[in-house]
Amino acid sequence: MENIQKYGVLICLRCHDFRSQDLFLGIVLYFSIPCHLLVAYLIELAVARSAQASRKRKVRASEKTFDDYNDNNNNNNNNNNNEKNTSGVDGVDGNEDAGPSEEDQRAFRLTWIVAAFLHGINITLALAITTFVVYFHVHHPLIGTLTELHAIIVWLKTASYAFTNRDLRHAYLHSSPSSSSSSSLASSSPPDKSTDIGATAADEAPAIPELYKSCPYPQNITMANLVYFWWAPTLVYQPVYPRTARVRWVFVAKRVCEIFCLGVFIWVASAQYAAPVLRNSLGKIASLDVFSILERLLKLSTISLAIWLAGFFALFQSFLNALAEVLRFGDRSFYDDWWNSESLGAYWRTWNKPVYTYFKRHVYVPMVGRGWSHGAASCAVFFVSAVLHEIAVGVPTHNIIGVAFLGMFLQLPLIAMTSPLEKMKLGHGGRILGNVIFWVSFTIFGQPFAALMYFYAWQAKYGSASRTMGGTSMSTSMSTSVGDSV
C-alpha cells in the first residue's frame, strides 16, 4: 500500500519498451544460433566416417595377420598345430588387448586436433556473432539477455558434443574386452549422472556405460540424436539418456501454469517495486553516500530475493521439468537443497546441477586427471564461469564493467573461508553459522549489489531517455540472467 500511495500503479499492460528491431534481431538470432550445432554435426560425421574406415583397416590387418600365422603353421607340418593355432588366436587378441600402438595414437591425436580446431572456430563464431549483434544492435536488455543465454547454452552443448564424441571415438577405435569389463567407470558411475568418461587420459580407452550400448558410436552421429540433445534439459551430451515411459500432459499443464503465474509476478515485482528503488539509488551512488547506498541495498535485497526465488522456481522446477516431461527425459536432478547450504561451496554444488555437472565433467575432472592440482582446476572452472557470467550480464546491458566477473571469481576465497565450517565438529550451531553466512552474502552483497551497479552503469550511459526501460527491463533482465546464467 505504501508503495502504491507513493508511486501509484506503475503496471501498464499496453506499454512496451522494446524496438521492433530488437524483437526482429532476437528472433533471427534464436533460429540462427542452432545452425552451429548443424556445423558440429557435419564435423563429427566426417570424423566418424574416418574412424569407421580406420577400424575396418585395423580389422583387415588383424585378420591378415591371423591367416598368415595359420599358413605358416600349416607349412611347418607341426604335430602340435592345434595348440599353436589356439595360441595364435590368443596372440592376436592379446595384441588388441595391449592397447593402441604409437602410430594409432598419433593418428587419433591428429584427427582430434583437426576436429577440435574446427569445433573451436564454430563455437567461437556462435558466441562472437551473437555477442556482437546484441551489444551493438539490440538495445532492450531483456531480449538481449535471453538471446545471449541461448548462445551460451549452445556454446556449452556444442563443446560437450565434441568432447564426448572424442571419448566415444577413442573407445570405438581402441576398445578391448578387459577395459570394458573391469573399469570402475562402467560399474560405479551411473550414466544418468553424467559418467565421467571424459576424465580418462588421452591414451586410455574409456569404458562405455551399459546405457550407451543401445546406441553405440558412430550410430549416435545423427541429426535426430543431436536435435534431442539441443532441446534436452542438460548441458552434457550422452548418446542415450534415461527415458520415461510416457508423457504426463496434466503434469506439463501444471508446470506451464506455474511458469505463467511466476512470470507475471516477476514482471509486477520488477515494475512496481524494484524499479523505483533502483531509480532512487542513482543520486546516492553519484554522491558516494555510503550509508544511503547501504540502505538502498537492504531495501532492494528483499524484492531482489523474491524475484530471484521466483525466477529460480520458474526455471529449475517448472520449465525444466515441463521440458523434460515432454521429451520423456528421465534424469530430473536439476538442483538439491541449496537453501540449507552450510558454505558457499555447498551452494555452488547444489543450486544449478546441470552447470555443476558440466564443469565437473569437462573441466575439473579432466584437469585433475592430467596432473593439475585441485586448486588450479577450481580456478579454471570459476574463471570460465566468471567470463560467461560477464558476457550474460554485461553484453545485454551494454556495460562490461566486470562486476559479474569479479562477483563470480571472488567466490573462490569466500568458499575457502566458509568450507572449514562444513568440516568442523560444531554440531547444529556450526551448520547454522555457515548457512547464515551464505544467506547474508547471497541476499545483500550478491544479487542487489550487482543489479545496482549495472543499473547505474546503464543510466550513466543512456540517461533519462531510457528511464522506463532502465527500471523495469533492467531489473527483470538482471533477475533472468542471474537465474538462468552459468
Q: Give me the active site residues, please.
A: 389
HEC secondary structure over the chain = CHHHHHHCCCCCCCCCCCCHHHHHHHHHHHHHCCHHHHHHHHHHHHHHHHHHHHHHHHHHHHHHHHHHHHHHHHHHCCCCHHHHHHHHHHHHHHHHHCCCCHHHHHHHHHHHHHHHHHHHHHHHHHHHHHHHHHHHHCCCHHHHHHHHHHHHHHHHHHHHHHHHHHHHHHHHHCCCHHHHHHCHHHHHCCHHHCCCHHHCCCCCCCCCCHHHHHCCCCCCCCHHHHHHHHHCCCCCCCCCCCECCCCCHHHHHHHHHHHHHHHHHHHHHHHHHHHHHHHHCHHHHHCCCHHHHHHHHHHHHHHHHHHHHHHHHHHHHHHHHHHHHHCCECCCCCCCCHHHCCCHHHHHHHCCHHHHHHHHHHHHHHHHHCCCCHHHHHHHHHHHHHHHHHHHHHCCCCCCCCHHHHHHHCHHHHHHHHHHHHHCCCHHHHHHHHHHHHHHHHHCCCHHHHHHHHHHHHHHHHHHHHHHHHHHHHHHHHHHHHHHCC
